[in-house]
Amino acid sequence: MSQYRSNRFNHRPKRNFSRGVKGAKRVKSFDPTSFIQQNNTTQPRSKPYEVVHSFADFKISEALKRNIASKGYTQPTPIQDQAIPLILEGKDVIGIANTGTGKTAAFVIPLLNEITKNRHKKILIITPTRELAVQIRNECFSFARGMNIQTATCIGGVNSYQQKSELRRNPNIVIGTPGRLKDLIQQRSLQLSTFNSIVLDEVDQMVDFGFITDIKFIISYLAHERQSLFFSATINGKVKDVLSHFVRNPIMISVKKQDSLENITQDVIKIVDKSRKIDRLHDLLIKKEFEKVLIFGRTKFGVQRLTEELVKRGFHADVIHGNKRQSQRQRTLNRFKRNDISILLATDVASRGLDIDNVSHVINYDPPESYEVYIHRIGRTGRGDKQGTAITFL
């Protein structure tokens, strides 16, 4: 077992519980202080995984290889190196890897190749958030350029008319969130009996969001003989119990290790006077090195109010949360990616799956509720070989 996993389970930092106002519901919060101290100590590093393939080695179509090369990819990441050959062989796979390690391409590439061999192949990809569904759709588009592969994206927050129109075109790939997929099945707009591949991405968040009942409902409509793929950054006991009902003899791949946090400098700021909290944030944001900042808060109301205050103070900031329409959320994300705004505030809807380049800092303005949420939040910075900083207010 790696030192990372040993730290996580044997020396797990404590969670705090607090009441905001008299009679309010207790809220869990995670204090990362001891976790940061452990990671700052000198510890033996596990031997890095050595990639054994190049993309040219994989038994995939030449058109797919050309699209991969056009994106500048030559060597797969560890999760891609291990998962792609297994998926091409038709195996059920459970893949565990840190965020930002290329999990999406690990399943998109081999599944697109299967479609080139069988134009009747149908694939269902389920994600916990709308943003992740859109990101996967965009990856499918870029890898399948010129290959005449149809996709449909079925997510909440937008009118379903366009989605039903896409489904009538008999797409090879359907990407969606559980609630909207269930609605379309019940309306008989989505027929899943011919779908013989399923991907669940970010499985642990599916459990956290309470989507398991919907997922079981959706899977009951799939072909009995199917390939099942599950990818996530964490797999705990509860998730393993869920997966045991969905897969048969899966192959577990894990390339998750502590080294992935090397690129992230972590710190904690203790707030004694809550009335000065916004001023402490202001003092950070005016520093030159805070170039592109993602700020996480607990509630929709809280991040909305904080955004309005930062805008009043002259910062170029915007916000995404559950009360925003999907078109608004996507427009705001695009503005942040294009650097039209330098500060994005979000609830945890944005802590999974979003691939945003060059985020210099993640600030936990409100502490996360758990270790897992903390890891996913700070994983928005320090991606790939870039350096990043994560700061948590306590």
The DSSP bridge pattern shows strands 27-30 and 15-18 to be antiparallel
Q: Residue 262: pLDDT band by 50, 70, 90 thresholds?
A: confident
**Per-residue pLDDT tens for 326-383?**
788 889 988 999 999 999 999 987 555 567 889 999 999 999 988 878 888 888 888 7
**Mean pLDDT of all residues in 33-38:** 78
Rounded distance between C-alpha atoms, residue 35 and residue 159, angstroms: 43
For residue 138, what are its two tokens?
């965009």
Q: Residue 19: pLDDT band by 50, 70, 90 thresholds?
A: very low
Q: Which of the pair, 337 or 18, is modelled with greater confidence?
A: 337
Q: Residue 26: pLDDT band by 50, 70, 90 thresholds?
A: low
Measured CA angle at 71 (ends 355, 105), to 5 deg: 55
**Per-residue pLDDT tens for 187-218?**
999 999 999 999 999 887 787 777 888 988 99
Rounded distance between C-alpha atoms, residue 115 and residue 137, angstroms: 15
In the chain, the N- to C-terminal Cα span, in Å, equals 31
CA 249 to chain centre: 25
Q: What is the pLDDT of residue 41?
A: 59
Q: What is the pLDDT of residue 233?
A: 73
Measured CA angle at 105 (ends 99, 95), to 5 deg: 55
Percent of the chain at pLDDT exceeding 90:
56
DSSP 178-191: HHHHHHHHHTTS--
Rounded distance between C-alpha atoms, residue 321 and residue 302, angstroms: 10
Q: What is the pLDDT of residue 198?
A: 95
Q: What is the pLDDT of residue 328?
A: 87
**Mean pLDDT of all residues in 221-237:** 84
Task: Please name the residues in contact with 4: beta carbons below 8 A apart, sequence gap of 6 or more.
Answer: 46, 256, 257, 258, 261
**Per-residue pLDDT tens for 81-135?**
999 999 999 999 999 876 677 889 999 999 999 999 999 999 999 998 888 899 9
Q: What is the pLDDT of residue 350?
A: 57
Q: Residue 1: pLDDT band by 50, 70, 90 thresholds?
A: very low
Domains of the chain: 3-44+259-393 (3.40.50.300), 55-256 (3.40.50.300)
**Where are the alpha helices (H) located in 71-191, listed in sequence order?**
78-88, 103-117, 130-143, 161-168, 178-186
pLDDT of residue 22 exceeding 80:
no
pTM exceeding the 0.95 threshold for the entire prediction: no
**Mean pLDDT of all residues in 283-306:** 95
In 3D space, the residue among 248, 239, 263 whose CA is nearest the CA of residue 100 turns out to be: 263
Rounded distance between C-alpha atoms, residue 57 and residue 65, angstroms: 10
Rounded distance between C-alpha atoms, residue 202 and residue 234, angstroms: 8
For residue 266, what are its two tokens?
């972590």
Q: What is the pLDDT of residue 374?
A: 87
Q: What is the pLDDT of residue 11?
A: 40
Average pLDDT value over all residues in the chain: 85
pLDDT of residue 25 exceeding 60:
no
Q: What is the pLDDT of residue 14?
A: 45
**Where are the alpha helices (H) located in the chain, listed in sequence order?**
3-10, 33-40, 62-70, 78-88, 103-117, 130-143, 161-168, 178-186, 203-208, 212-219, 237-243, 277-285, 300-312, 326-337, 371-378
Q: What is the pLDDT of residue 256?
A: 63
**SS3 for 269?**
strand
Percent of the chain at pLDDT exceeding 70:
86
Question: What are the backbone dihedrals phi and psi of residue 95, each rounded to the nearest 5 degrees, phi first?
Answer: -110, 130
Q: What is the pLDDT of residue 260?
A: 52
Rounded distance between C-alpha atoms, residue 171 and residue 185, angstroms: 15
Question: What are the backbone dihedrals phi and psi of residue 308, each rounded to the nearest 5 degrees, phi first?
Answer: -60, -40
